[in-house]
Amino acid sequence: MLAFERVAHAAAARAGALVRARYREQHALELKSAVDLVTAVDREAERLIVDAIAAAFPTHGIVAEESPPRPGSDPHRWYVDPIDGTTNFAHGYPHFAVSIGLAREEEMLFGLVYDPMREELFTAVRGGGARLNGAPIGVSAVGRLDDALLGTGFPYDRRERGEFYVAFFLEGLRRAQGVRRTGSAALDLCWLAAGRLDAFWEWKLHPWDVAAARLVVEEAGGRVSDFAGGPHRLSAEETAASNGRLHDALLAMLRDVRGHA
């Protein structure tokens, strides 16, 4: 195991243990927007992770959800989401994850997504495949949207643009076997990598939401792009992911809805 893997594994284990121990508490909530929550546990877990990374790799940059970015003096940058699925966590709904990714410039090198409630650890190293608790995983073989289980999420401006986002959800219901909205994009993407979902889309994800899980999907044999099929950028507003076989059909569905929305 490489040094950056060891540091990320240890930091995720500590943060995950904290989150798991505290999740049944009554949480004092702060609002970053009308529906975007943060708790003290988010900040405590993030501090554990960021301090561990900064101590081990003082020249690396760090982009974390709940604190200002730390610039680095070399091209490496970490993306940290201490609790992807804070709304779930704050309501005692046990579906959330710790997400840690490492990039060199724009290329993701390593991704880790840890579900502390199920004790499922999804990891990927560039060129080394994707794993769940150490065992290799791969995307599904579903080849028709009619047979697919889709995942999605709704951005934080959903109160203002709810009808627009629901139009995509409804079209998914019409074309696929089902659509799931679980509240954690990182886990949705990792479940796609493990074959539990067949395709996924969401608007306006942040880099820390998607960085680690995107690499897990790619290393599991899947594809991640924007809604036009172009390269996915961490700062982009559009994330479309699939097992690869369904990608053209997923993009066609998104394009059709967008043309009528």
| Catalytic residue chosen out of the listed positions 42, 46, 66, 81 | 81
Does the annotation mark 256 as catalytic?
Answer: no
Does the annotation mark 209 as catalytic?
Answer: yes
CA–CA separation, 114 and 19 (whole Å) = 11
Average pLDDT over residues 58-79: 94
Average pLDDT over residues 211-218: 98
| Catalytic residue chosen out of the listed positions 46, 84, 115, 218 | 84
Does the annotation mark 86 as catalytic?
Answer: yes
Q: Which domains does the chain have, with CATH numbers?
A: 3-137 (3.30.540.10), 145-260 (3.40.190.80)
Does the annotation mark 84 as catalytic?
Answer: yes
| Catalytic residue chosen out of the listed positions 49, 53, 62, 83 | 83
- Give yes or no for residue 35 having a pLDDT over 70: no
DSSP the chain: --HHHHHHHHHHHHHHHHHHHHTTSPPPPEESSSS-EE-HHHHHHHHHHHHHHHHH-TTSEEEETTS--B--SSSEEEEEEEEETHHHHHTT----EEEEEEEETTEEEEEEEEETTTTEEEEEETTS-EEETTEEE-------GGG-EEEE---TTHHHHHHHHHHHHHHHHHHSSEEE--S-HHHHHHHHHTTS-SEEEEES--HHHHHHHHHHHHHTT-EEE-TTSPBP-TT-SEEEEE-STTHHHHHHHHHHHHHH-
CA-nearest of 95, 126, 80, 111 to 188 is 95
Judged by average pLDDT, the poorest of 29-43, 134-148, 157-171 is 29-43
pTM: 0.94
CA-nearest of 168, 193, 163, 194 to 181 is 168
- Give yes or no for residue 251 having a pLDDT over 80: yes
Using one digit for the tens of pLDDT, what is the confidence trace for 165-200? 899 999 999 999 999 999 999 999 999 999 999 999
Does the annotation mark 65 as catalytic?
Answer: yes
Tokens of 213: 């899980």
How much of the chain, in percent, has pLDDT values that exceed 90? 80
| Catalytic residue chosen out of the listed positions 46, 65, 115, 202 | 65
| Catalytic residue chosen out of the listed positions 209, 218, 219, 238 | 209
Does the annotation mark 83 as catalytic?
Answer: yes
Output the pLDDT for position 32. 53
